[in-house]
Amino acid sequence: MADINAFSPEWRRGVYEAIARRRDIRSFKPDPLPAAVLARILSAAHHAGSVGFSQPWNFIVVDDLEIRRKIHDHVDAERLRAAQGFEGERRARYLSFKLEGILDAPINICVTCDRKRFGPAIIGRNTIYDADIYSTCVAIQNLWLAARAEGVGVGWVSILKPEVLAQILGIPDHVVVVGYMCVGYPVEFASRPLLEAAGWLPRLPLSELVFGNRWNGAPNAELASALEDLDEAANGKDSKDLAS
């Protein structure tokens, strides 16, 4: 019997489609993002769950080209520095990847976590202090999925130093930079993530990542069978078909 709280099949498929078709976008069209669309995407982020209902996030919408150029210059320097961690052919391949769209996208969004909001005592944060940062990551995921549903691309830029970004954007010391996102209409939504399609790293089978009761414990037979069925169904399919 279907749960009365479950979405209709069409709505449910839409949720899974957004998850399966989400991509980390690096190449954007110059088309501006309508304010109403951006507002809806930010509203989705703001409706994320947060520890103790603390809502620790802020969203700095960066459309100033000079500011973005400063951030791009820093990211490019960090990209070259990160390349030193790879050797030979792998370094050359790393340098060939386009890993951000800071100047291509019409806007960037810096997502932050205010560690003092509603504090110092927050329900649910006494033992796991970083739960506010985890909550902000949930807001970013909401933003990403809502954007995908709107046909908008998002790319998370992580090749940067948060302290440098904080200085450029005038962020207070008690506020933590969690994510820097490029946002706009993409050149395309690829069928598979770039680094998977390029063979940089493989997609791991879900059945190898789910344990039962303790680390490395086998899940119950029914769940194990269902996970293996999903892995088999996904094998040979593009990621965009996984919601089928």
Q: Where in the chain are the domains? A: 24-201, 204-238
Is the overall model pTM greater than 0.85, yes or no? Answer: yes
Backbone angles phi, psi at 118, to 5 degrees: 60, 10
pLDDT digits (tens, 9 = 90+) for 194-244: 999 999 999 999 999 999 999 999 999 999 999 999 999 888 665 445 554
Instruction: Give the Å distances, CA to CA, from 221 to 207, 208, 218, 240.
Output: 12, 14, 8, 28
**What whole-number distance in Å separates Cα of residue 33 and Cα of residue 52?**
33
Task: Identify the pLDDT of residue 240.
Answer: 45
Which CATH code, of 3.30.450.40, 3.40.50.920, 1.20.1090.10, 3.40.109.10, is assigned to 24-201?
3.40.109.10
Spans of the chain, pLDDT less than 50: 239-240, 244
